[in-house]
Structure 1
Amino acid sequence: MILKKTNYIKWKIIKMYRYFSEMGLSNTIVFLTNKLWKWIRSKTPTNPQIEKFRKNDFLNLWKENISEKQRIAVVVSTFYDLNGRDYMQGGAERYIVELSKIIHTLGASLEVYQCGNQTWHKIHEGIHVFGLNTNGYNIKRLNEAYHDWVPKPTLSIYFQLLLASPKFNTPSICVSHGVDWDAHWLQKDNSKYTNLIHDVLSSCKNVNIIVSVDTNTINWLRATDYDLSEKCVYIPNFVDLNKFNLIKKEGKEEVTILFPRRLTDARGFWLIQKIIPDLLSRYENISIEFCGKAEKFEEVEVKKLTEKYDGKIKWYDTAPDKMGEVYQNADIVIIPTRYSEGTSLSCLEALASGKPVIVTNVGGLTDIVLAEFNGTMIEPNSSELFNSICRLIENPNLREKLSANALISVQSFNLSLWQNRWIQILKKYINLYE
């Protein structure tokens, strides 16, 4: 009977921890302790076994979950969807999961705070994820809500430049995933664009260090405000070479072209969409695969394509740990980014799989691909994309050359190198709590 009550108490403690976390009180250990044990005593008479649980399991529970010395917070616009139901499953999310593993090895724990339609709490691979009620996707409200909830001494990692302004914590790190203010539609609104640049620079001033995944961001900052650029550390994105590798398939006649990304304008969906009819009319031995979630209009269009070109066009989504199989089936991988790009994880995975890639000269893609050595590089337009695809379809020897060099160049982006670079930064800040 006592054991059942003890287990019930454990369950109630965890439930109340989540409740108080959502109320922004997860740091107030004394407050929570008094509240919980007042409730426990009202339900359970004093008993040696219960008291033993109180002194051991209970204290360990709080030490593991809310120890001020161990908590590191990541602020990101979305990790799950706004309702906390669907894991976004993109490159940024994989980055956070890998970062959490590093933080765990250093004896700390990572929490994620994001936008939400209401307040909610989830656990993903051991990471506590909190949706803050920002009434939808709203960066400014997220900035305000996060800093109202989390105390200033907490090491904060802002996963977008705009999230560290106007409020900010110290110490803090900002991760720049590439210039995301290079969209053509954004620059047409001069007032909006000017305000955005102001906010970006304000965020850069507020944080202690800026981790940039590409040199494009650093060079932009250096040309805009040289002093701020000295806060930057270049840590390119990564690929786990144990999960992606080349497996040659002999006797394969069909050429499979893979688009392994979210179907959006930024990622170049409409560039490939425009040339599909011409490609399929010119080559009978090709197929085109789209692997990734789609935005609203892109979803409508890709469904039309799969219906019109049944068997020649495929669209599907898959878990990150299954992507190795997707690349193995491809002969050409296209990364036709138009804007808002860092060092693409998809591009790195394709290189690690020994696939010839076609990339645009946008953002951090120029840090990954050396034109005509480990891939082909084009301007972000449909005409050049069409010509480059045709060239690789018709030239298997070129595909072989690019494949061999891809396997050489990708060694510089090994996951272990990325981990070591992050450890050197985190050690410096985690020591503040010791």
Structure 2
Amino acid sequence: MIFIAFIADSFIVDGDVFSGGAEQHMYELIKQAQEEGAKVRVYQPAADNASYMVNGIEIQNIQCHRKAIWKKGSEQAKRDGCSHIHYNYLHFAIPSKTQVVTATDHGVWWDIPFIGKYSKWYPLNKLASIYLPIWRKKSKWQTMRRIKNCQAIIAGDSTLMRIVQSDLTEYRTRIHVSGNFCNLKQEVDSATMNVQNQQIEQAKRDNRLIILVPRNLSLVRGGAWLADLVRRVSSLTNGNCLFVVTGRFIFQTGREQVYQSAFQEQMKDIEDQLIVLGGTPHKKMQGLYQSSDIVLIPTYAAEGGSLSAIEGATYGKPVVATNVGGLNDVVVNGVTGLVTEASVDGMAEAIVRLYKDEREREEMGNNGKVYSKRYSLERWKKEIRPFTLKAGWIERHSTE
């Protein structure tokens, strides 16, 4: 039997699959591998070495730091007799002489610019202007090396393929591009419609627009400039918008507390314009999407085929997104939403345009519902079949 080790720095949190797009993508990939007849075990960092089952998936905790899981997880997978190893992030894929190595690419991740105004959000603050250009070159080089370690790579957007076509042409057949998917039902579930948040409910009674930001908060997810954006939009709409952030301050290079401190300092005078829900479970997102008027993806850098952007369109909401990474693949500018330059002014202009034009909001939302059908989970399962075949996840006799 084919035995696949899935290695991730985050997967099961508080007994359930973490609501991030990378974790949701990996969950469906695992389910597909199981449907193909493979045995699967997930290796993730934790405070213990417990083994347990979640939703029919075997989980193996490894007591280690998140940065160490890639090496320790692969070592344990080898000891456990896994024939295949799949890394949830391409740039951590380790070569193996005895196992088939595959990986997921969630988008270019080294495209982080330096903007002095937000220097507090960077490691070493203003020194980032010096080390970032060097780090970007090194990170791209590392990713190109990791591609050589893999037999097959599944990419959620076309960015990596374009780079490989240019820089590493002989390896382009290893890249399988399959757009992301939405696994939330398009139909309204009355049980999840009540978002049970007094500030949101009051804002709707006051006819304020609800701008949903289905993001965890970090530099790359737009946390740095979100407060400035809220101020700018508030001044242009007389405070008639409420921004609702569903995520939390994420652990990234040990900077969770730094992000939270910087963000709270920035939003001192806009508490009535922005609320942070602090980690909404994915299964409870339906009500928030339905209650919103606009879905905002304020990405700063490192973006793939955003699951949140697809979900926003699925629920008939116009999506405002920056023109970063895979967002150009999933938001059709002027049709399902507005793709703007990656700046506060660009996003503010797009939001105010939709704020003023209810008819355009409705038209884009309706277009999004139609367009999002191409991102159905059923379509995705069919499209990844060539990847699972190339990855060797399917027994030969099952394809004959």
Q: CA deviation at 1:114?
A: 2.5
Contact 1:147 1:169 in 2 (8 A): no
- Structure 1 range deviating more: 170-179 or 300-309: 300-309
Task: Determine if contact 1:337/1:360 at 8 Å carries over to the other structure.
Answer: yes
What is the CA–CA distance in structure 2 between the aligned matches of 1:111 and 1:421, rounded to whole Å?
A: 23
2:68 to 138, 149, 159: 138
1:171 matched residue in structure 2: 100
Over 3 Å counting, the alpha-carbon distance change for 1:119 and 1:198 in structure 2 is farther
The answer for unaligned runs of 5 or more in structure 1 is 1-68
* Contact 2:180-2:305 within 8 A present in 1 as well: yes
* 8 Å CA contact 2:214, 2:245 repeated in 1: yes
Partner in structure 2 of residue 297 of structure 1: 258
Letter in 2 for 1:75: I
Q: CA shift at 1:366, angstroms?
A: 0.8
TM-score with structure 2 length normalisation? 0.80
**Counterpart check, 1:126 vs 2:81:** no
Distance in 2 between the 1:418 and 1:368 partners?
14
Could you tell me which of 137, 155, 174 is aligned with 1:231?
A: 174
Within a 5 Å distance, the mapping from 1:372-387 to structure 2 comes to 372-387=334-349
- Could you say what secondary structure the match of 1:266 adopts? coil
Aligned residues of 1:77 and 1:142 also touching (Cα < 8 A): no
The partner residue of 2:217 within 263, 288, 303 is: 263
Distance (Å, rounded) in 2 between the aligned partners of 1:171 and 1:301: 43
In the alignment, is the contact (CA less than 8 A) between 1:306 and 1:314 conserved in 2? Answer: no
The alpha-carbon distance between structure 1 residues 401 and 180, as it changes in their structure 2 partners (threshold 3 A), is: same
SS at match of 1:341: coil
Q: 1:291 to 1:301 in 2, by over 3 A?
A: farther
- The correspondence for 1:156, drawn from 63, 85, 91, is 85
Contact preservation (8 Å) 1:156, 1:169: no
TM-score (norm 1): 0.75
Contact 2:43 2:73 in 1 (8 A): no
Please, which moves more after superposition, 226-235 or 273-282? Answer: 273-282
Q: Aligned partners of 2:87 and 2:271: how far apart in 1? A: 44
Residue 110 of structure 1 aligns to a residue in which SS?
A: strand
Q: How far did 1:259 drift?
A: 0.6
How far 1:80 moved relative to its partner? 4.1
How far apart, CA to CA, are the structure 1 residues paired with 2:370 and 2:275? 30
Provide closer, same or farther for how the CA distance between residues 306 and 168 of structure 1 changes in structure 2, counting only shifts above 3 A. farther
Output the CA distance in 2 between the equivalents of 1:353 and 1:433. 40
Q: Indicate if the aligned counterparts of 1:245 and 1:354 stay in contact, CA closer than 8 A.
A: no
Query: Is contact 2:33-2:393 (8 Å) kept?
Result: no
For the 8 Å contact 1:158–1:173, the answer to whether it is kept is: yes
The alignment status of 1:75 with 2:7, answered yes or no, reads: yes
Answering whether residue 275 of structure 2 is matched by residue 314 of structure 1, we say: yes
- 1:119 alignment partner, SS class: coil
SS of match in other structure, 2:104: strand
For residue 325 of structure 1, report the CA deviation from its aligned partner: 0.6
Distance in 1 separating the partners of 2:270 and 2:136: 40
Instruction: Give me the whole-angstrom Cα distance separating, in 1, the residues matched to 2:267 and 2:300.
Output: 23
| 1:358 CA drift (Å) | 0.5
Q: Is the 8 A contact 2:95 2:150 kept in 1?
A: no
Alignment correspondent of 1:206: 149
Deviation at 1:309? Answer: 4.1
Corresponding residue number in structure 1 for 2:36 = 106
Count the aligned residue pairs: 363
Gap runs ≥5 in structure 2: 115-127, 194-203, 251-256
Mapped contact 1:238–1:413 kept (Cα < 8 A): yes
More divergent stretch after superposition (396-405 vs 325-334):
396-405
Change in Cα spacing, 1:177 to 1:243, as seen in structure 2 (3 Å) is: same
What is the CA–CA distance in structure 2 between the aligned matches of 1:91 and 1:168, rounded to whole Å?
31
Query: Bigger CA drift: 225-234 or 138-147?
Result: 138-147
Distance 1:211 1:136, change over 3 A: closer
* In structure 2, distance between residues paired with 1:102 and 1:392: 39
**Residues 24-423 of structure 1 mapped to structure 2, 5 A cutoff:** 69-80=1-12, 88-116=18-46, 119-138=49-68, 141-142=71-72, 145-146=75-76, 148-151=78-81, 154-167=83-96, 170-184=99-113, 188-189=131-132, 192-240=135-183, 242-243=185-186, 253-282=207-236, 283-295=238-250, 296-300=257-261, 308-316=269-277, 317-423=279-385
Show CA shifts across 1:111-149 (max 9, x none): 111334553434322222223344442366446634653
Offset, 1:168: 6.4
Higher mean displacement: 264-273 or 416-425? 416-425
| Conserved 8 A contact 1:244-1:349 | no
Structure 1 pair 145/133, CA: closer, same or farther in 2 (3 Å)? farther
